[in-house]
Structure 1
Amino acid sequence: MALASTSSSLIHSSISSHSIASNDLPAPWIGSFRPVVQSKAGNSHSQRCLVKPVCAERKKRDSVVPLAATRAAPEVAEKIESEDYEKLAKELENASPLEIMDKALERFGNDIGIAFSGAEDVALIEYAQLTGRPFRVFSLDTGRLNPETYQFFDTVEKHYGIHIEYMFPDAVEVQALVRNKGLFSFYEDGHQECCRVRKVRPLRRALKGLRAWITGQRKDQSPGTRAEIPVVQVDPSFEGMDGGNGSLVKWNPVANVEGRDIWNFLQAMNVPVNSLHSRGYISIGCEPCTRPVLPGQHEREGRWWWEDAEAKECGLHKGNIKQELPPVNGNGNGIAAVADIFNSQNVIALSRTGIENLVRLGNRSDPWLVVLYAPWCRFCQAMEGSYVELAEKLAGSGVKVGKFRADGDQKAFAEQELQLGSFPTILFFPKNSSRPIKYPSEKRDVNSLMAFVNALR
């Protein structure tokens, strides 16, 4: 994450600084919206002037996050008063990202930072610049990013004339993790421990030097986990400069923006982007844990692809993401009360007994193709059309097509007996073999699935 910053009297350390004013640069007109800030000198809210970008030298301070200043922020003399952020979130629900960004920067001045990951959240920096207000940007350097991401950081700094403030993991913690568990332990026991050392703890240190932060979270970004993100909230997981619960405010200006609209904005504004995007990468993280996605796949399928969909978060936003499974229904069986999928007369719904009998048969009269799914999983939802179409094509061919809901109470059984790794898992039960064959590809279009079936039946 990266910060373009300025001096602030709220910082606990003593800072001596000077700034060199540049020529007055008027804030740009954006439709009928022209960003402005309050005049430093006036008490009256009616006195406002355009922001004057300035250059400033790097300043020393005791805060964990150093200031790499490129613009001077208005100094704040007293602690920002408390505010009802739930109410504010409702008021800003239909506001544009630019308006939300302007509100955040105006309110917190030098005590707010934009979290920049080197992916499409460069849009946040573009919005910040368009407000005409000073802003800070910070980034987490895990030590395992793609070379293209590091090159992108440098490009962004030059394009916007800023210095990104980098946070690094503790060397002793990384050394202990690697010595004890190796360089790639996350492939075996999950990514959470590595992310905690390389990302979460450095972020925690960074946020202790701020009163608010700005993220690029979107509601459409992660399957089942970010659907209720507000545009602003009191951060439920991390602490800010003053310490304690409620000491940090989290802004999500693009929460209500769809991914395609973000990209339309970036292209329209001629914003630099990570070159990995042109190679199929959408959600970009560390090199060992990120890969391109295939056409039709959700963007988060490229992250930690070896794990179940419910684990596709690193912990940076764990406090305001909902649980992967929706609330259980009234029968107490732990299965989410959501609409079922793969509904077709050509797709046979298998019960637990039915799938167990299918597994036990060593000599089946007909081959079977079965999808192990969870109706709340977006990856399963995304392949519903192709799977139903495949079932129609296979009708009368001698191949039976089925589905088995493998979440809730059935998940442990499916993992142990049916090779379930993540949703969806597709199995082919040959006519004369007791062991099912797992579909190895993530291409779930009709032609790819048909080729799999034809090769085995």
Structure 2
Amino acid sequence: MASFSVTSSLSTELKAPSVGAFQPSDRPFQNLTAAINFSTRRAGSAVKPLRAAAESRRGDSVGPLSATTLAAPKTEEGVKEEVTIVEEEENFEQLAKQLENASPLEIMDKALAKFGNDIAIAFSGAEDVALIEYAKLTGRPFRVFSLDTGRLNPETYRFFDEIEKHYGIHIEYMFPDAVEVQALVRTKGLFSFYEDGHQECCRVRKVRPLRRALKGLRAWITGQRKDQSPGTRSEVPIVQVDPVFEGLDGGIGSLVKWNPVANVAGNDVWTFLRTMSVPVNSLHAQGYVSIGCEPCTRPVLPGQHEREGRWWWEDAKAKECGLHKGNIKQDSESNVSAQANGEVSDIFESESMLTLNRVGIENLLKLEDRRDPWVVVLYAPWCQFCQGMESSYLELADKLAGTGVKVGKFRADGEQKAFAKSELQLGSFPTILLFPKHSSQPIKYPSEHRDVDSLLAFVNALR
């Protein structure tokens, strides 16, 4: 039910009362009554006039206000009456619960119906083409935008063109600021992200262009799925007030984010694409699953998670470029610290395995002429990829027992992480190092193949 609030304006000597503060007087409009409904979620907060709504900074989880202003004719005394109809704010947390078991098509239809031309689909050139297919199936008009970072694969550019022709649409491309890109490349080179992390480059080429795009919208639609990245996307809701970006009206709470395939498994998305004969990026046939910029994306191996192909030189928990930064819980670091304090069971437990502490690994680093070669894994017991290679690494220790090669482990998370990054070449877990007999520097195992035969070949070739 809409709530009505009345404001009046006279000359400069008469100030209009705030919305929700209407008081009857002896003026000709004294018989006009209004039903005032305070629909804010926080007790005690005042309803603001419409003109201030776009400037407000609301931190609660409600959608932006939608209002219509009706101007009444002036009375004989020159009083202009103005009626503002303010729709009740929608609780998107409640809506997310209502849509938890809805199909992607139903969710897409709901989003397009609610926001019309003020919502757009974010298309990356990967399997989120499913979103465009769902939008087409609703029969409603829809908009699609994409971020052209300037460093996409040629196959992705060709795919964009194919999609535009297949659906008869024009993708709205957003580009990074040329001056910002120029400054970054001139200062740090084309591939600085391999050395100091991908966040700076993504901020210039992706996050800021996205921010500009979203400022023209009231809602956007993404292809996020809960199974894409267990560390950052496991709790993605169907719909939410965007926790990071602002929409057309500005301020926190001014943008709504829809994730129609949040509860859909990756295999089911692909079944849908094949069933509907939807065009797909040719990179998928080459082993690419999650597709981003060319320098930061590579095929994944059998058994690897799809996000392992993105920024593979970094920790698994850093597999976000900033577009969905709100997925990362604020207490993630404290969770890691808690795990480092022993709240999870240790791994790589074997009589053939030696456990190195900080002093032990530092001493091993200092030796320039070692009596025996060492192979050491830098690990975190909570890391699913460390857990996945546990059996092969234990078998490696058993096979090397008695050969003169010592096999060890060093827990490199928590307080040891900074040291491991600066001194032990830690990029992501697990990192495997070989300390040869006649070399002062450890050699980092370069392959993603973590089966025992591959590990054994590496050790025997260099020990």
Query: Which interval holds the TM-score relative to the shorter structure?
Result: 0.7 to 0.9
- How far apart in 1 are the matches of 2:265 and 2:219? 24
Shift of 1:87: 2.0
Q: Select 2:210's aligned residue among 174, 178, 203.
A: 203
Matched, 1:430 2:436: yes
Identity of aligned residues (%): 80
Query: Paired residue for 1:384?
Result: 390
CA deviation string 1:278-301 (max 9, x = no partner): 112221111222222233333222
Shift of 1:170: 2.1
- How far apart in 1 are the matches of 2:252 and 2:127? 30
Secondary structure class of the residue paired with 1:404: strand
- How far apart in 1 are the matches of 2:352 and 2:382? 21
Secondary structure class of the residue paired with 2:121: strand
- How far apart in 1 are the matches of 2:310 and 2:225? 16
CA deviation string 1:368-407 (max 9, x = no partner): 3211012333433333343234334444554333221101
Letter in 2 for 1:340: D
Query: Paired residue for 2:452?
Result: 446
- How far apart in 1 are the matches of 2:351 and 2:132? 51
- How far apart in 1 are the matches of 2:407 and 2:227? 31
Map residues 190-229 of structure 1 onto 2, 5 A cutoff: 190-222=197-229, 224-229=231-236
Shift of 1:164: 1.1
- How far apart in 2 are the matches of 1:110 and 1:175? 34
Contact 1:349 1:404 (8 Å CA) reproduced: yes
- How far apart in 2 are the matches of 1:340 and 1:106? 51
Shift of 1:114: 0.8
Shift of 1:210: 1.1
- How far apart in 2 are the matches of 1:82 and 1:145? 40
Contact 2:337 2:414 (8 Å CA) reproduced: no
Secondary structure class of the residue paired with 1:119: coil
Matched, 1:120 2:127: yes
Contact 1:224 1:376 (8 Å CA) reproduced: no
- How far apart in 2 are the matches of 1:229 and 1:326? 21
- How far apart in 2 are the matches of 1:261 and 1:411? 37
Matched, 1:260 2:267: yes
Query: Which segments of 5 or more consecutive residues in structure 2 lack a partner in the other structure?
Result: 1-65, 69-85
Q: TM-score, normalised by structure 2?
A: 0.74
Q: TM-score, normalised by structure 1?
A: 0.75
Shift of 1:138: 0.8
Contact 2:340 2:413 (8 Å CA) reproduced: no
- How far apart in 2 are the matches of 1:392 and 1:334? 27
Taking a change above 3 Å as real, the CA distance of residues 127 and 335 of structure 1, as seen in their structure-2 partners, is farther
Map residues 30-429 of structure 1 onto 2, 5 A cutoff: 81-222=88-229, 224-322=231-329, 325=333, 327=335, 335=341, 337-361=343-367, 366-429=372-435
Secondary structure class of the residue paired with 1:327: helix
- How far apart in 2 are the matches of 1:261 and 1:301? 20
CA deviation string 1:400-423 (max 9, x = no partner): 332211011101222233222332
Query: Which segments of 5 or more consecutive residues in structure 1 lack a partner in the other structure?
Result: 1-75
Letter in 1 for 2:159: F
What's the Cα RMSD here? 2.7
- How far apart in 1 are the matches of 2:300 and 2:336? 31
Shift of 1:326: 5.6
- How far apart in 2 are the matches of 1:172 and 1:394? 55
- How far apart in 2 are the matches of 1:447 and 1:80? 66
CA deviation string 1:109-164 (max 9, x = no partner): 22211100001111111222223332211111112211111110111112222221
Q: Which has the larger radius of gyration?
A: 2
